[in-house]
Structure 1
Amino acid sequence: MRLVVARCSARYTGRLTAHLPLAKRLLVVKADGSVLLHSDGGSYKPLNWMSPPCSMAVAAPDAEAAGRGVTEVWTVQHRKSDDRLEIEVHDVVHDSAHDLGVDPGLVKDGVEAHLQELLAAQIDLLGSGHTLVRREYMTAIGPVDILARDGGGATVAVEIKRRGEIDGVEQLTRYLDLLNRDPLLAPVQGVFAAQEIKPQARVLATDRGIRCLVLDYDTMRGVDDPDSRLF
């Protein structure tokens, strides 16, 4: 992982257009190719980013940009779309690289682990005809919660969260990118399953062709029977 603290501006073009004016920011370049721009506020979410598969090229600025104080231009191009992130780097305060090694993956808390177990046992909640392939299907960047087949034999990858937010959709997107490179699995459909799915996460999932599934934890574990409710 490379960490750069610098004054920079950025412009994202493609499915949307966004601009970040000149300011001091943290630029993160990960081993999987993703590039993220962070500020010192706004919690954990980046201001802008490019997810893999993508490639990054670093070039010297043209005369006009150099006159504005630009020292480097980073161009991050998505390999499957026209999406592009262009970063103009001015003054670099810090630049370091770190080998983080292989991450063991996220350890689920009790509820998420139990949701995974329950959904594996009630796989028909994904739809009639679905069958379980396995839980914790390992990929190069971590385990997919559930791998299944639909009634037609197509592969289905399921990411499970207690609360479904944008980060979970991004995580499932990375898994799908990898799984769809395997000719024995492709094409792989994605299902984002959670007890609650935030509107922004649902919009992003729909845009990426990922199906959303809301899980009723109490019903799945037999605590609450919807058929016996009065209202």
Structure 2
Amino acid sequence: MIQSIKPAGDRAVRIGFKEEISDTVHQHIRSFCAVLEEENHSAIAEWVPAYTSVTVFYKPELVKYDEIALWLNGLSERAGTSVSRPVRVISVPVLYGGEKGPDLSRLAARHQLEEEEVIRLHTEPGYLVYMLGFAPGFPYLGGLSDRLHTPRLDKPRQKVSAGSVGIAGEQTGIYPLDSPGGWQLIGHTPARLFDPDKEDPFLFRAGDRLRFFAVEKEEYEELLARAEDGKSVVKIETEEADANEHAN
């Protein structure tokens, strides 16, 4: 399962898995991280999963690189047969089009689709959260319909509002903060992806499944008011993962 183990600076180890972005590789990474958490090694500070790797940060005052690398390699077999934890399925409300989705009509025309068909194709899949990055809480999602693959804007916007839902290439995503951006904006969610005042500041975690669902403007305004009061506007459920999903 593990393809490589290499130092990453003087206090981190990069665990490399198969170099492909896929659900199978992600499940191996998720299982490996679950075993890391169960072990609770006193010399490990934290770990950061990515598409094809996990970077493990350790305390060099407690353990040497060779020792921790050997220990991490020893987790490989156990992680390969580990039963996955239940998967969180998070349903996210989106107001599509209009001022909140200024690129929806142009994107639809590009693909010779009606706007309603773009919305259907966007809300139909269950997206896998591969990892968080770029900005605090930004989810890297897999699963966008190939009928919606669209290049970034030629000229990025100077400001994109937090909560904006967009498409760029083969990806769809949600801006967690106000920032410049060149994604094609098709809608907006009132959900807060990043709240530094909370004990767990991030809405999403690697391994979550995300589903978008469309709301009308009146419902959107009600949800926005709830979000501004610090209340949740997403629906979180759990699904049991296949216990044999790591056997291959």
**Higher RCO structure (Cα 8 Å, ≥6 apart):** 2
Q: Same fold (TM over 0.5)?
A: no
- Structure number with the higher helix fraction is 2
What TM-score results when the alignment is normalised by the length of structure 1? 0.33
TM-score, scaled to structure 2: 0.32
Structure with greater strand share of residues: 1
